[in-house]
Structure formats: structure tokens, C-alpha cells
Amino acid sequence: MAKIILIRGERNSGKTTTTGLVYSELLKISEIKHKFNNKDVTKNSLTYDNETGDLIDFNAVIKIKGKTIGIVSAGDVAEDLKAQLSIFIQINIDIIICCARSRNVDGSSYKMIITNFAKQNPILKEVWSKFSPKKEEKKTVKKQTIEEIINLVTSNI
């Protein structure tokens, strides 16, 4: 049974950026070797779009104090997210951090998580991605949310 931390928000609200910041912070306290986009790596492996500078969606699996944390940033397409979450469940991830658009309608990622995963895998918390249209505030506006997620992870390992 995995525990789920769900990052919610509208389209282009910064869910992937939030997830990337959480990944970067968790790497500071995790084992060095980890999986990033299904490859073994030993460093922060986030990649950015050359034209927009936006973070590219990713998945990662890291270990902290013997617990396994799975992170998936792509949350806009329900079927893609369902496939990744199913893999995480099969490989016995302890804590899953994932994203979903905020809509609770048929076909949405959020409804898919509630319908397919939440009964057997409790949702620890739903947090909302904070967004600022000012590029210089893109990361700082998320600081409180990042800290909340890190505290949830560390208190559950």
C-alpha cells in the first residue's frame, strides 16, 4: 500500500515545476543513486525545454531511510498517469507524489486517482500548486507548498 501526496492545479499552474522542486529538495536527504525516467542516475537530472525554459515532465524513484518515494510530474493525461501509478504500486513504492489537474470530472486525472487508487492507497494530502505570472517569482511562490510536501514525506518515512 502506497500513500499518495497529490499536487493539484489548473493547466499550466506550475504542477510540474512544483514537483521538480520537491524532487530537488528530496535529493538532499536521499540515497545518491536513484531512478530518473527509468534510468539509474546519481545526480539531479531535471531537464528543461530549450525554447521555453519550462521543466520537462519526469518520473523518479528515490530512497530515504529505506523507504521508496515515487515522483511523477505528468498529471494532465489520466491514462498516462494511471499507467505510471500502476507501475509504482507494482514495485511497492511507499510514498507517491503525483500531479493532477483540479477538475473532478469523468476522464480527469483527479477522478482517475480517486476511482482507481485512493481506496487501497490513502491520500495523505492534496496540495494546490501556487502560480505567479512573474517569472522571477515562479519558484519562490511555491516555497510553502514545497516545505509542506517535504514535511509530509519525512514524517511518513
Average pLDDT, stretch 15-34?
96
94, three cell numbers: 511507499
Q: What is the pLDDT of residue 42?
A: 97
Instruction: Count structural domains, the chain.
Output: 1
User: Which range marks the domain in which residue 10 is found?
Assistant: 3-155
Average pLDDT, stretch 56-84?
96
Helical spans, DSSP H, in the chain: 15-27, 78-90, 109-116, 143-155
Q: How confident is the model at residue 5 (pLDDT cuts 50, 70, 90)?
A: very high
The pTM of the full predicted model, rounded to 2 decimals, is 0.94
CA gap 144, 97 in Å, rounded = 16
Q: 15, 7 in Cβ contact below 8 A?
A: yes
In this predicted model, what pLDDT tens digit does every residue of 106-146 receive, in sequence order?
Answer: 889 999 999 999 999 999 999 998 887 787 777 788 999 99
Q: Which parts of 33-122 are beta strand (E)?
A: 34-36, 39-41, 59-64, 67-72, 95-101
Q: Is 111 strand, coil or helix?
A: helix
Query: Residues of the chain with pLDDT > 90: what percent?
Result: 80
Q: What is the pLDDT of residue 21?
A: 96
Q: What is the pLDDT of residue 101?
A: 83
CA gap 14, 18 in Å, rounded = 6
Amino acid identity of residue 24, one-letter, is S
Q: What is the pLDDT of residue 104?
A: 82
Q: 55, 48 in Cβ contact below 8 A?
A: yes
